[in-house]
């Protein structure tokens, strides 16, 4: 376990430290998880039984409870039921720690009030991810409650009807949009209000959503979308962005702070999918995948529509290009595609891991666009493989675009050896084969 500890002085919990109560009747388990969590910047208290857990939960009000299933007189299920039945502890998220991972045990834990499970032996990376995810959601919920309380106090003298109206408006018009237009409130917005800004634009989309939605009733579709969006939206807000619009399962978000904020949000969204898919699996649902495109450029932000129905939106060629980049994730079988403008906009390009993917003539663009894959959100083994083969992959791509289809094919063949299939490698192999059978080997436009 020592190799998973962070370097001295580093606080991986970042802006999301949590107060964690660990419950286990085995001292070794308590000490192991306490050491890891404290090293990551979290505050830890311990309990060795279900009864002690109930007392400490009321006394200390922890943010998260890690609760072992197999304990003495009061096991984890009974403890979770008791926590869920007490108004003072009902809202505390409980993660059950168990060596049994079959479906019946997972369902029993969720029915007892747990929000997730952690299998034994405890994996340090999974423990870190689960606690960090719950801490982020906790912080977001607390911030929202504080904002609601502030708004309620500010409007208390204005009457119930005005308060209800403004609260409703704030759910449909992003506060960030109002501020960027130089307005104090939604009542000041008018048709034609606009401003030109340099923004980063993020488009995300659920893969094969149409096929997935066809297996669900309308009620289930809405429940699924709202569950998914509730998981993904906080990553946008935490990184200084705001939601411009939803398009079914797709999200369009804008980031005034630049490309670094947009990429941080995108990587966090992709990185959270394994946690979300584990939750879906516990209820028998299939896992999902997403594709995200990010581009930076000049955007006209403003109010369009009719005096009877106004809508804030972003209009520009940069928005269209961001949408096309998201579509390219389907073409190349990757999760996150960005333009060269995004990399140029980064204050610290070394903060993210990326590789050159292609140079394309996209629809509506006269000049070719250089596109890159950012793979920070991939699984650790996939990320390590892409990092290890990045130089050879990019050299092979350059050879293909230089007209050396034969040399490029040999390079891509070498990249296939001894590893899992890499979708972009397979795509280029097919392109090389086509180029070698044609008189004109020039690659066709994509997008």
List the domain boundaries for the chain.
2-138, 175-378, 392-447
What's the average model confidence in pLDDT over 364-374?
A: 85
Q: Does pLDDT of 420 surpass 90?
A: no
Range 189-211 average pLDDT: 85
Determine the pLDDT at residue 149: 75
Query: How far is the C-alpha of 363 from the C-alpha of 357, rounded, in Å?
Result: 18
Q: Is 206 exposed, middle or buried (0-12, 13-18, 19+ CB in 10 A)?
A: buried
pLDDT digits 0-9 by tens, 351-363: 999 999 999 877 7
| pLDDT value of residue 441 | 44
Q: Which of 332, 336, 354 is nearest to 423 (CA)?
A: 332
- And the tokens for 304? 């369009």
Which range, 151-155, 181-185, 210-214, 281-285, is most confident?
281-285
106 vs 80 pLDDT, higher one: 80
The residue length of the chain stands at: 447
Q: What are the phi and psi torsion angles at 195 (to 5°)? A: -150, 145
CA 22 to each of CA 35, 95, 303, 352, 408: distance values in angstroms, whole numbers, following the listed order = 11, 10, 51, 34, 54
Q: Is the pLDDT assigned to residue 198 strictly greater than 60?
A: yes
C-alpha–C-alpha distance, residues 240 and 256, integer Å: 7
> CATH code for 2-138?
3.40.50.2300
Q: Do domains 2-138 and 175-378 have the same CATH topology?
A: no
CATH number of 175-378: 3.30.70.1230
pTM: 0.61
pLDDT for res 155: 61
Contact between residue 180 and residue 301 where contact means Cβ atoms under 8 Å apart:
yes
Judge contact between 262 and 202, C-beta under 8 A. Answer: yes
Model confidence pLDDT, tens digit, residues 279-315: 888 888 888 999 999 999 998 887 777 777 777 778 8
pLDDT one-digit tens code per residue, 132-169? 888 888 787 777 778 877 776 666 655 566 555 555 55
For residue 10, what pLDDT band results from cuts at 50, 70 and 90? very low
**Mean pLDDT, residues 125-132:** 86
Q: What is the pLDDT of residues 253-282, one digit of tens each?
A: 999 988 999 999 999 999 999 999 998 888
What's residue 173's pLDDT? 65
């Amino acid at each position: 376990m020592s190799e998973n500890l962070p370097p001295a002085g580093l606080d991986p919990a970042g802006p999301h430290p949590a107060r964690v109560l660990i419950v286990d009747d085995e001292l070794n388990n308590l000490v192991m998880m306490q050491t890891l969590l404290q090293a990551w910047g979290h505050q830890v208290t311990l309990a060795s039984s279900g009864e002690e857990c109930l007392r400490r939960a009321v006394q200390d009000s922890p943010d998260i409870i890690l609760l072992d299933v197999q304990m003495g007189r009061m096991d984890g299920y009974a403890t979770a039921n008791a926590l869920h039945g007490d108004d003072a502890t009902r809202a505390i998220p409980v993660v059950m720690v168990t060596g049994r991972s079959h479906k019946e045990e997972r369902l029993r834990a969720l029915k007892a009030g747990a929000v997730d499970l952690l299998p034994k032996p405890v994996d340090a990376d999974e423990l870190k991810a689960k606690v960090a995810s719950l801490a982020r959601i906790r912080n977001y919920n607390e911030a929202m409650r504080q904002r609601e309380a502030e708004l309620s106090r500010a409007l208390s003298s204005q009457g119930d009807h005005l308060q209800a109206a403004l609260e409703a408006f704030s759910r449909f018009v992003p506060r960030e949009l109002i501020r960027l237009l130089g307005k104090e409130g939604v009542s000041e917005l008018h048709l034609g209000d606009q401003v030109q800004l340099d923004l980063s634009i993020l488009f995300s989309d659920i893969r094969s959503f149409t096929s997935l939605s066809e297996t669900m009733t309308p009620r289930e579709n809405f429940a699924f979308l709202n569950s998914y969006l509730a998981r993904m939206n906080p990553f946008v807000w935490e990184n200084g962005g705001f939601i411009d619009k939803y398009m079914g399962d797709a999200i369009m978000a804008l980031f005034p702070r630049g490309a670094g904020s947009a990429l941080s949000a995108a990587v966090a969204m992709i990185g959270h999918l394994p946690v979300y898919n584990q939750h879906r699996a516990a209820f028998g649902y299939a896992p999902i995948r997403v594709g995200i495109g990010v581009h930076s450029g000049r955007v006209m932000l403003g109010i369009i529509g009719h005096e009877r129905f106004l809508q804030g939106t972003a209009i520009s060629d940069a928005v269209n290009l961001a949408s096309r980049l998201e579509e390219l994730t389907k073409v190349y079988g990757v999760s996150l595609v960005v333009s060269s403008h995004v990399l140029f906009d980064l204050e610290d390009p070394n903060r993210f891991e990326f590789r050159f993917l292609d140079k394309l003539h996209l629809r509506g663009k006269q000049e070719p666009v250089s596109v890159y894959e950012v793979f920070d959100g991939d699984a650790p083994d996939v990320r390590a493989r892409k990092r290890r083969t990045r130089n050879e992959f990019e050299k092979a791509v350059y050879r293909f675009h230089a007209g050396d289809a034969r040399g490029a094919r040999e390079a891509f063949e070498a990249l296939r050896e001894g590893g899992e299939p890499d979708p972009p490698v397979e795509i280029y192999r097919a392109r090389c084969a086509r180029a070698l059978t044609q008189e004109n080997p020039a690659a066709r436009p994509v997008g």
